[in-house]
Structure 1
Amino acid sequence: MQKWKHRWHALCRLEQSFKPRGLVLLVMALALILTGYSVGYLEQWALHKQVDHYQAAQEEWHQERLELERELATRGLEVRMEQQSQAETREMMARQREQIQALETDLTFFRNIMAPEKTADGVQIHDFILDETADLDRFRFRLVLTQQKIRKRFVKGNVTLTLYGSEQGQAVSRDLTQLGVDGAGLKFSFRYFQQLEDEFTLPQGFVPERLVVQLRLPAATGQKASSAEISYPFADLVSAPIMAQLRDNH
């Protein structure tokens, strides 16, 4: 019985010593401990997340750098291939130009053999073009002369243009200087080529049939006296409707 009384008194003393203030302090201490632990855990978690983010960004940058390096290498290869292709194209074009020049030389040689009448001491009647105008009887011509010889001096001479046809049923001829062409404009002086051009008007009642171009070179230093002549059917120089109107109107 005495033993149970002793325990009862001890329990009462413990109850008296355990005051509300101590409980509050204990709870606050536990709260501070838990708060500190939570804050530390959150900071550590945030740090890990930041490290993971930086590592992911670093890996992404690394992949981008590799991609850029591969693209740069590809572009460099494309540039080298393009440069090589351009060089090969230039070489091919140079060879083609040489071949064309050789063919033109051969063509000129054979032209002179087949049509020597078009050439006078290397000066060739390259082309003659007759253009129609707004007036039925008026025409504009262009005569192109070229040089086939290699000369250090200018080749000089003059051209005569003669129009043959009929007038009132009679065969007649007219020098184009009589039809409005300036005679001074028919003189030439060149090293490589020259174009002569002017206009003329057909006489009333004149029906043209052919036009003769005559080239004359006088004897001079670096050239010998020579001549060339070519005849063009007038119907080949103008359109069929114009030729028909000329015949009908005259």
Structure 2
Amino acid sequence: MRASPSHRAATGSGHPRIGFALLVLAALGFGGWGLWRAYGPQPANAADLLRQQAARIDALQQDVATLKRSDQISRQANTELQGTLAERDEEIASLRADIAFYERFVGATAQRRGLSVHELALEPQRDPQVWHFVATLTQNLNRGAVNRGRLLLSVEASDGGRMHKLAWGELRQQRNAPGIEYSFKYFQQVEGDLLLPAGVKPVRVIARLVPASGAAVEQGFTWSQATGGTPAGR
């Protein structure tokens, strides 16, 4: 039997409207869900979590900066300590050398020696013609006796291929320059400055000790020996 027109209107003709309505409802649902995800409220503790994380980052950065500074200080302290230890080692070595030196001259078994220049050392100054000298004078022959006198130096030098002697007065830039005074029982260091004329090549240094009483004593040192190999004029 064929369906009546009124039955088709009530059934078949109503299906497209229901489908459209369902599509609209689905679209609205998805749109609302997206808006809620984008603009909806965050968890109640989100701000606290962000602050905690930021504070943790700051603390870690501070720890890193502190550790770097601590490492820098430690390295600097270690460098300074190494320098101090090296200085102490040098000081100990110097003191041991001094003790050995004293024992050679004042010890019970020391060999008796008269007045002499134990060592002569010259060091260059800023002016290439000026040299500072330190002479170590010793004697242990007359124990307990005070030795007094003067020290004078002269230099044998080559000037234009010719050898000549530069006297104390010339080296001191004073014609009648007095010698360096000394007064000691066993040893003493005396010092002063010498001025070499320009262009000369020193070869030998002669130290002359003139005691208050007794004969003068002369000792020679090569220029290389007295200067440790430093050439004149540098």
Scaled to the shorter chain, the TM-score interval is 0.3 to 0.5
Look at both structures and tell me which one has the larger radius of gyration over its CA atoms: 1
The answer to which structure has the higher helix fraction is: 1
TM-score, structure 1 length as denominator?
Answer: 0.45
